Amino acid sequence: MQRRSALKSLTAAVGGLMSLPSWAQAWTPETVKGPTLLTMAEEDTLAEIVETIIPETSTPGAKSLKVHQFALRMINDCYGENAQKNLKKGLADTNSAAQQAYSKSFAACDGKQRLELLKKLADNADTKPFVSMIKNLTIQGYQNSEYVMVNIQKYNMAPGFYHGCVPVKK
C-alpha cells in the first residue's frame, strides 16, 4: 500500500512536469546566444580545430557533437573581452600558420597537418593561451556532451545510490 501510494505520488510528480510555465523556458541555447562573435568562416575554422583536438573515430568527434558551438557560447557569454579577442586572433593565427606551412587554409589541411599545426601553436608562447583555452573548452564540452555522458559515462539521473567503500573496478 505504501509502495503504491509512493509510486502514485511519483507519477503525479513527474506528470506535473509536462506543463511548465512559459518563464520556465528561460534557459535555452537560443535565448542566451547573444550577438555572434565570429564570421561563418571563423566558426568553420573553430569547428575544425575542436575536431582536430578530439577527432571522429568509431565514435563521434567534437565537431559533430557541436563542441565548437559550446566553446563559442562559453567565450561569448561567460568569458571576458580578452578571451574574445584571444579567440579572434587565435583563429587568424591558426590560418596564417597553415598558409605559411602548407599554403592553404587550416580547414583545407588534412588531419595530420592540422594536428602538427596545433601542436606547433601550442608550443608558441604567443598562441599557447589560445590553444589552451580551446583545448580546455573542447574537453569540457566533449566530456559533458549527451553522447559521451550517456554512451560512455553511462549517465543516470535517478535512481541514484551511494556506496561508501567498494573495490576499484579494474
Partner 1 sequence: MIWVNSGTASLTQFNLKTANLQMSYFSIDSIKDRTFDAIVVGSGISGGWAAKELTGKGLRTLVLERGRNVQHVTDYPTTMMRPWEFPHLNQMPKEVKDANPIVSKCYAFNEDAAHFFVKDAEHPYVQEKPFDWIRGYQVGGKSLLWARQTQRWSQFDFEGPARDGFAVEWPINYNEIAPWYSYVEKFAGISGNKDGLPQLPDGEFLPPHEQSCVEKYFGQQMAKHYGGTRPIIIGRCAHLTKPNPIHFQQGRAQCQNRALCQRGCPYGGYFSSNATTIPWAMKSGKMTLKPDSVVHSIIYDEKLGKAAGVRVIDAKTNEAIEYYAKIIFVNAAALNTNLILLNSTSHRFPQGLGNDNGLMGKYIAFHNYRTSISGEYEGFLDTTSEGIRPNSSYIPRFRNLLKQETDFLRGYAAGFNSSRITFNDRSGMGEELKTSLAEKKYGNWRVGSHMMGETIPKETNFVALDPNLKDKWGIPQLRISVSYDDNDEKMVKDYHEQLTEMFTKAGFKNIQTHDVPNKAPGLDIHEMGGVRMGKDPKTSLLNNWNQLHACKNVFVTDGACMTSTATQNPSLTYMALTARAADYAVKQMKAKNL
Site residues for partner 1 per CB under 8 A? 2, 5-7, 9-10, 12-14, 16-17, 19-21, 23-29, 32, 52-55, 57, 61, 70, 73-74, 77-80, 111, 115, 118-119, 122, 135, 139-146, 149, 152, 155, 157-168
- Which one, 125 or 167, has the nearer CB to partner 1? 167
- Residue of 10, 9, 144 whose CA lies nearest to 73: 144
- Which one, 26 or 40, has the nearer CB to partner 1? 26
> Is the link from the previous residue into 159 a cis peptide, with omega within 30 of 0?
yes
CA distance 168 to 34: 45
Count other Cβ atoms within 10 Å, centred on residue 57: 7
CA distance 41 to 25: 31
Min separation Cβ 124 and partner 1, Å: 15
Question: Radius of gyration of the chain from Cα atoms?
Answer: 21
101: Cβ contacts below 8 Å, ≥ 6 apart: 113, 116, 117
Min separation Cβ 46 and partner 1, Å: 15
Min separation Cβ 41 and partner 1, Å: 23
CA distance 49 to 121: 12
Min separation Cβ 45 and partner 1, Å: 16
- Which one, 104 or 119, has the nearer CB to partner 1? 119
Classify residue 124 by its DSSP letter: S
- Which one, 10 or 41, has the nearer CB to partner 1? 10
- Which one, 91 or 137, has the nearer CB to partner 1? 137
User: Hey, what's the cell of 13?
Assistant: 510528480
Min separation Cβ 82 and partner 1, Å: 12
